[in-house]
Amino acid sequence: MRVLERGMQWANLAERIIGMLKNGIRADLRDSNAPMVFWDYCLERRVQIMNMTARSIHRLGGLNPYTATKHESADISNIATLGWFEWCYCLEDRNSSLHKFPHAISFLGSCLGLAKDHGNEMAHSMGFETIW
């Protein structure tokens, strides 16, 4: 990238990555028809995907940013399981005598990304709509 004018908004290399993130978020929200209020969940998912995929940056030595920083392999199976704002079913136990397992209440929800510090590695955050 050639710097045209010092102090310009696009002269900083980080601004190029932020522009790529914004374009990705716009595309995800448009393609999935998700409400704009979920843009921050989409941003977190996009950043996680960018951190766990390899790029042709010489300083990384062929590694992805996650592996280069934490010195452990990145596991993308939790990201690849469900797409952005993809419909999914969730079973929820209401902790009452009427709704004990195996009679859990079924919800239809949309996947909003990974649930951080909650559940196991495959836990996802959901936007719920009650079906029955």
Can you give the pLDDT of all 132 residues of the chain as single tens digits? 555 566 666 567 777 888 889 999 999 999 999 999 999 999 999 998 999 888 888 888 888 999 999 999 888 887 888 888 888 877 665 665 555 556 667 778 888 877 776 666 666 666 644 443
Backbone angles phi, psi at 77, to 5 degrees: -65, -35
**How is residue 98 written in tokens?**
């009427």
Please tell me the pTM assigned to this model: 0.73
Picking from 44, 36, 129, the residue whose alpha carbon sits closest to that of residue 87 is: 129
Candidates 56, 75, 77, 57; CA nearest to 66 is: 75
Predicted local confidence at residue 81, as pLDDT:
83
| Those residues with Cβ within 8 angstroms of residue 76's Cβ, 6 or more apart along the chain or in another chain | 49, 52, 53
The span from the CA of 53 to the CA of 92, in Å, is 33
Q: 23, 131, 19, 129: which is closest to 85 by C-alpha?
A: 129
- Which pLDDT belongs to residue 57? 82
Domain range annotation of the chain:
9-130
- Kindly write down the DSSP assignment for every residue of 83-119, as one continuous string: -TT-EEEEEE--SSSTT-TTSPEEEEEEEEEEPTTSS
